[in-house]
């Protein structure tokens, strides 16, 4: 891969944990923005497997999901020639820097993390130290690459704030070492909620698969999930439907698929029965996901191609990451290994 021009673009970095199934919420909240921003940034897109093991995973499933998620990044339109795509554990500098950053992160800070509190409640039989220090690993992911912009959902804002605090703390203690990254939080309105409980965010790791739309759901499953999605006791679309959580969420989904707004979708379908609108929504969804799924299956059937991209991504990432890591080691007083 040639260096030069591409390397001067500002850096955008993001990651998704290979757990559950990539859902429409991930596409709208994250992957779509990655694709849109890739012209102006050098994108670093990571399958964060080391984060995923903070919750118990079945080894064979985790292995498959790492490749499957990488293939879905590509199917969504991330250009592997212009971006760096890799699996987190392939670049050992992530684990190495995270240890150092653990020593610059206070327990008081980690105690305040809402994701830790939520996850400890959900996995109360396995509240491990990794789950607790998870934000220091995320800070390492970001700070290793001198990242400018981190597109994340609102639920990750707290982790990003902590990353900035850690970076500033380190920079102030020694001398400027890390770029302090900016968050990029996509506009509200395009938040996709659970299909069965519209007050809850659509989660890719939900136990009930009727709650989310997987990007890989086949057409009959997509149709069934939309048919079963909760609405309210009314029967027809009105302009006010956008304010009703269930039907409002379906209007949002339709608007996202058709580059519109929930308000104009409500206008378009005003007076129509919910069941009719749901049929149209299902058609839109099937048409939207079809080219994505075709591309995905093509990539997955050529493992040599896929692992080639991931290997190349990891090589490039290692080069970038090791520059930051050796600076860090030097500043804190670790002895550099002998050159020969």
Binding residues for ligand TRP, per CB under 6 A?
A: 13-15, 17, 48, 51, 138, 141-142, 150, 152, 156, 159
> Is 179 considered catalytic here?
no
Q: At what angle do helices 303-332 and 93-102 cross, to 10 degrees?
A: 30
**Which of residues 84 and 229 has its CB atom nearest to ligand TRP in the complex?**
84
Marked catalytic residue, from 117, 119, 227, 303: 119
Neighbours of 279 (CB within 10 A): 15
**Which of residues 11 and 229 has its CB atom nearest to ligand TRP in the complex?**
11
Marked catalytic residue, from 9, 201, 327, 340: 201
> What is the three-class DSSP state of 26?
helix
> What is the three-class DSSP state of 193?
strand
* Nearest residue to ligand TRP, scored by beta-carbon proximity: 15
Marked catalytic residue, from 204, 227, 295, 340: 204
Q: Which residues of 246-255 are buried (b: 16+ CB within 10 A; e: fewer)?
A: bbbbbbbbbb
In the complex, minimum distance from the CB of residue 18 to ligand TRP, in angstroms, rounded to a whole number: 10
> What is the three-class DSSP state of 162?
helix
> Is 298 considered catalytic here?
no
| Cα distance between residue 134 and residue 57, in whole Å | 16
In the complex, minimum distance from the CB of residue 276 to ligand TRP, in angstroms, rounded to a whole number: 36
> What is the three-class DSSP state of 189?
coil
Of 78, 77, 71, 67, the closest CA to residue 296 belongs to 71
**Which of residues 16 and 74 has its CB atom nearest to ligand TRP in the complex?**
16
In the complex, minimum distance from the CB of residue 301 to ligand TRP, in angstroms, rounded to a whole number: 28
Say if CB 179 and CB 148 are below 8 A apart. Answer: yes
In the complex, minimum distance from the CB of residue 193 to ligand TRP, in angstroms, rounded to a whole number: 17
| Cα distance between residue 66 and residue 19, in whole Å | 9
> Is 340 considered catalytic here?
no
Enumerate residues 6+ apart whose C-beta is below 8 A from 299: 71, 74, 75, 305, 306
Phi, psi angles (nearest 5°) of residue 196: -100, -20
**Which of residues 160 and 222 has its CB atom nearest to ligand TRP in the complex?**
160
Which residue carries 């007083």 as its tokens?
A: 333
Say if CB 186 and CB 49 are below 8 A apart. Answer: no
In the complex, minimum distance from the CB of residue 206 to ligand TRP, in angstroms, rounded to a whole number: 14
**Which of residues 22 and 253 has its CB atom nearest to ligand TRP in the complex?**
22
| Cα distance between residue 78 and residue 29, in whole Å | 15
**Which of residues 159 and 164 has its CB atom nearest to ligand TRP in the complex?**
159
In the complex, minimum distance from the CB of residue 231 to ligand TRP, in angstroms, rounded to a whole number: 29
**Catalytic amino acids?**
119, 201, 204
């Amino acid at each position: 891969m040639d260096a030069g021009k591409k390397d001067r673009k500002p850096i955008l970095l993001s990651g998704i944990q290979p757990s559950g199934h990539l859902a429409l919420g991930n596409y709208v909240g994250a992957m779509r923005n990655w694709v849109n921003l890739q012209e102006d940034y050098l994108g670093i897109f990571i399958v964060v497997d080391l984060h995923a093991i903070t919750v118990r995973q079945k080894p064979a499933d985790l292995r498959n999901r790492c490749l499957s998620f990488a293939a879905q990044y590509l199917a969504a339109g991330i250009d592997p020639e212009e971006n760096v795509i890799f699996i987190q554990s392939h670049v050992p500098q992530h684990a190495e820097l995270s240890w150092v950053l653990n020593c610059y992160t206070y327990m008081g800070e980690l105690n305040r993390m809402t994701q830790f509190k939520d996850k400890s409640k959900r996995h109360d039989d396995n509240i491990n130290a990794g789950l607790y220090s998870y934000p220091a690993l995320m800070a390492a992911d970001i700070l290793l690459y001198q990242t400018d912009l981190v597109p994340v959902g609102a639920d990750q804002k707290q982790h990003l704030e902590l990353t900035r605090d850690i970076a500033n703390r380190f920079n102030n203690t020694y001398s400027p070492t890390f770029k302090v990254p900016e968050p990029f939080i996509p506009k509200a309105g395009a938040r996709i909620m659970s299909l069965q409980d519209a007050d809850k965010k659509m989660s890719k790791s939900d136990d009930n698969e009727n709650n989310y739309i997987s990007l890989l759901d086949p057409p009959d499953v997509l149709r069934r999930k939309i048919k079963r999605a909760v609405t309210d006791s009314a029967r027809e679309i009105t302009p006010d439907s956008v304010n009703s959580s269930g039907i409002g969420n379906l209007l949002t989904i339709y608007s996202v698929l058709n580059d519109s707004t929930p308000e104009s979708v409500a206008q378009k379908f005003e007076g129509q029965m919910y069941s009719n609108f749901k049929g149209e929504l299902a058609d839109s969804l099937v048409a939207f996901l079809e080219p994505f799924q075709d591309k995905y299956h093509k990539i997955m059937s050529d493992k040599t191609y896929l692992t080639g991209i991931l290997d190349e991504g990891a090589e490039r990432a290692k080069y970038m990451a090791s520059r930051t890591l050796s600076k860090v080691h030097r500043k804190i007083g670790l002895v550099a290994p002998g050159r020969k």
